[in-house]
Each structure stands twice: as structure tokens, then as C-alpha cells.
Amino acid sequence: MAVEVEQILIETQKAKRGAIGYAIGFVLGVLVTLATYSSPSSYFIITWGAIIFCPYYAIKNLMRYKKLKAMLHQ
């Protein structure tokens, strides 16, 4: 039982870090896009990828975090 709780705790921390990381990636993508708006650069494709995919994965990790957190409190 203690091993399961420890594993859930580790997965909860991973999900939290993932959600925060993807949220930061989204913000950086938006900032780089705004900074390079007047002069297009090669970062354009990368930042649009971050703007499109980071929110999806951030929400996915946040939902996973909430589910695991609920499992710990039962």
C-alpha cells in the first residue's frame, strides 16, 4: 500500500511539473511571436507549435494532476 501511495505521489508531481512546463512553453511561444511579429524569423514555426500544442498538454496534465490528487485524499 505504501508503495502505491509513493508511486501516486511521484506521478502527481510529474503531472504538476508537466502542466507548469507546458504553460510556460505557451507563454514563451506567445512572447516570441509578439517579439518577432514585425520581422519574421525561423522561430515562427516553433512558436506556433508551442502556441497550438502546449495548452492542450498543459490542460491534459492538469486534469491528470487533479485526478491523482483526489486519489491521494481518499
Predicted local distance difference test score (pLDDT) of residue 67: 94
Environment class of residue 34 by beta-carbon count within 10 Å: exposed (0-12), middle (13-18) or buried (19+)?
A: exposed
Summarised one tens digit per residue, pLDDT across range 16-40 is: 999 999 999 999 988 888 888 777 7
Q: Ramachandran region of residue 41, left (φ > 0), alpha (ψ -120 to 50) or beta?
A: beta
Domain count for the chain, please give it: 1
Q: Is the pLDDT at 74 greater than 90, yes or no?
A: no
User: For residue 64, what are the domain limits?
Assistant: 2-72
Distance from CA of residue 29 to its chain's centroid? 13
| All three cell numbers of 33 | 511571436
